[in-house]
Structure 1
Amino acid sequence: MQKRLHAFVCGRVQGVWYRASAQKTAQKLGLHGWVGNLADGRVELVAEGDEQALQQLLDWCWQGPTLAQVTDIQQEWSDATHAFSDFSTQRL
């Protein structure tokens, strides 16, 4: 079953290649959606696909790229809407 993960990643996650790394990871996992920086310093991510692949992405989100320091992830799960054709970075 296809699911959707909507997450807000908190901590030192901007200016450390978090978005680009998340995009690359999501693409490797065959997921669709987007990731973007928020004005308050968090990263927002929406991903759709196989539930196991989404869990792998969420596990990666806790680590992030080398310079990231993740302190919290607020997450919401729902059914996929199939609104995305790829995984991209967004300017929010």
Structure 2
Amino acid sequence: MVRNLPDGRVEILAEGDKESIDRLIKWCYHGPRGAIVENVEYKFEPYKGDLKDFQIIYH
């Protein structure tokens, strides 16, 4: 799950193996082209297996 927050931050909820999550965290320090990344914070929680797919929803 990825969502833009009203204060300009981006929140990501992801599940996966350690290597994939490590790559995601590393990518977050740079972000997509044109992004200005000022800070990256993350925390690990026990794997639950809740996330099965990813879809983009525009609001």
Higher strand share: 1
Q: CA deviation at 1:87?
A: 2.5
5+ residue gaps, structure 2, are: none
Matched, 1:80 2:47: yes
Query: Contact conserved, 1:48 with 1:54, CA < 8 A, in 2?
Result: yes
Q: CA deviation at 1:90?
A: 5.6
What is the alpha-carbon distance in structure 2 between the residues aligned to residue 68 and residue 87 of structure 1? Answer: 21
Moved over 6 A (4+): none
Aligned partner of 1:63 among 16, 30, 35: 30
Equivalence map 1:21-60=2 (5 Å): 34-60=1-27
Give the RMSD, CA atoms, in angstroms: 1.8
Higher helix share: 1
TM-score (norm 1): 0.57
- Higher normalized contact order (CA 8 Å, seq sep 6+, divided by chain length): 1
Query: Contact conserved, 1:37 with 1:91, CA < 8 A, in 2?
Result: no
Report sequence identity in percent: 36
TM-score (norm 2): 0.86
Letter in 1 for 2:2: V
What is the alpha-carbon distance in structure 1 between the residues aligned to residue 55 and residue 14 of structure 2? Answer: 10
